[in-house]
Amino acid sequence: MNEKIKTLLFTIVVTAFFTFMVSGINSVLKERIDLNSKVARQKVILRLFGLITADKVISESDIPALFAAETETVKLGADSALECYQRKNSADQLFVFAFSGQGFWDNIFGFLAVDAQNQQIKGIEFTKHGETPGLGGRISEPDFKARFKDKPYANIRSDGLRLRLVAEGSATRSDEVDGITGATGTSSAIEKIVNSALAQFISLKQGGVSN
């Protein structure tokens, strides 16, 4: 009996000690980690605006300043919570807005860039997803993201969608996007997420822009 209690107490003390150590380190570095994830988001948005490209690399530490200097938040609709950005002092109708939705496994988060003038998608980036690596996880590959570029979203197809993800290699119409072979679940989840994100953006945009 005595032995058992000693074992139990030992386990509790050791567990408490290591938990305390880990949470201590976490709280010390939390600020830095939060800053990193903020910079990572800003980087994605700047990339969608074309301010960061493969040939125009910007160091991590300059990103917050560039972000503050070049972009501004846009409030679409009266009380919308949609996170949306525009270039500062720019006449073009390029918007970058956040989207999220249920993927095949986990929620998928990301940003869409659209040209509201010509009603075209300009780019898509995913900030967080839990899709199967090598299959659905390929959504974050440049090759897949490039498939959305310049796709028009103004018209609604007969199946009620603005964009349809079709079997890989079979997209022929401008309102079709190649899906990913072996990741049908992810492809249809992306289709749903992108369509609802576009619908939300359009309905808010029609309500008029107020800064």
Partner 1 sequence: MNKGPVKGLDALKRMLWEENPVIGQILGICSALAVTNLVKNTLVMCLGLIFTLIMSCLTVSLMRNVIPRRVRMIIQVLIIAAYVIFIKIVLDAFLPEISNELGPYVGLIITNCIVMGRTEGYAMANKPYDAVLDGLGAGIGYSLVLLPIAMIREPLGLGTFFGMQVIPTDWTKWNMMVIAPSGFFCLATYIWIVRAFKSSGEKR
Distance separating alpha carbons of residues 10 and 141, to the nearest angstrom: 49
Distances (CA, A) of 54 to 14, 26, 58, 62: 49, 33, 10, 16
Q: Does 11 bind partner 1 (CB under 8 A)?
A: yes
Q: How far is the CB of 88 from partner 1 (least distance, A)?
A: 26
Q: Does 33 bind partner 1 (CB under 8 A)?
A: yes
Number of residues that bind partner 1 (CB under 8 A): 21
- Between residue 86 and residue 145, which ones bind partner 1 under the rule CB under 8 A? 133-134
- Between residue 38 and residue 57, which ones bind partner 1 under the rule CB under 8 A? 39-40
Q: Does 25 bind partner 1 (CB under 8 A)?
A: yes
Q: How far is the CB of 53 from partner 1 (least distance, A)?
A: 17
Among residues 15, 53, 117, 174, the one that binds partner 1 under rule CB under 8 A: 15
Contact footprint for partner 1 (CB under 8 A): 3, 6-7, 10-11, 14-15, 18, 21-22, 25-26, 29, 32-33, 36-37, 39-40, 133-134
